[in-house]
Amino acid sequence: MSVPHFPVLIDGQTIIRRIHELARELRSRAEEEPHFVAVLAGARPFADQLLLALGRERGSYDSIRLASYSGTESTGTVRLVKDLEQDVLGKRVVILEDIVDTGRTIQALRAILFERGAASVETLTLLSKPSRRVVEVPLEGVGFEVPDLFVIGFGMDLDGKFRELPYVGVYQTEEAERPA
Ligand code: IMP
């Protein structure tokens, strides 16, 4: 079996620089200390880097695990796999997401948070694929807009693989790579 090859869409340095900008933007509009909710497992590297960039001004942190993908396909239904550990009542919640695709995950998570009494909900996402949107969701911070490609790395996976790549790459099947 040949070793998979992934063209780099966004290199690691560019990602880190952009996360620092997002941290600055967040700080500049901060009225109340944020309560971060990272969407696992994909958003973990993004959340780690953002909290590092925020330094002492970081707020509280929790995480949730939701699933909607099977392979490279969105199933259309969002499942709660691991719940939050802290309550969100009255808090300014800032969701940290790896990628917003159809928008269903953020829509479902916003509904959960508001139902539990969050005072406000903002979303920061490392990547957004606007051309794939099925439901419109407000995004207060977007690292990069990307085309309709299946991406892996910097937290993003294909069935649990490739999350640890230090860049965002484009997943290509062997068929797609093979010359005609
Ligand atoms: P949405 O609910 O369709 O917006 O999808 C959000 C979730 O789908 C993300 O948190 C990812 O886990 C997954 N996802 C969507 N597109 C990609 C991709 O290109 N690569 C890896 N995961 C993806």
Query: Is 101 an annotated catalytic residue?
Result: yes
Query: How does strand 120-128 pair with strand 60-70?
Result: unpaired
Residue 59 Cα to ligand 1 midpoint, Å, equals 26
- pLDDT tens sequence for the chain (180 residues): 454 668 999 999 999 999 999 999 998 876 788 999 999 989 999 999 999 999 876 779 999 999 876 666 767 788 899 999 999 999 999 999 999 999 999 999 999 999 999 999 999 999 999 999 999 999 999 999 999 999 999 999 998 899 999 999 999 865 554 444
The pTM for the full model equals 0.90
Three-state DSSP at 106 gives helix
Q: Residue holding tokens 């590297």?
A: 45
Cβ(99) – ligand 1 distance below 6 Å: yes
Which distant-in-sequence residues (6+ apart) come within 8 Å of 11 by Cβ? 167
Q: Which helix (H) or strand (E) holds 67?
A: strand 60-70
Cβ(42) – ligand 1 distance below 6 Å: yes
Q: Residue holding tokens 């690691």?
A: 12
β-bridge mates for residue 123, sequence order: 95
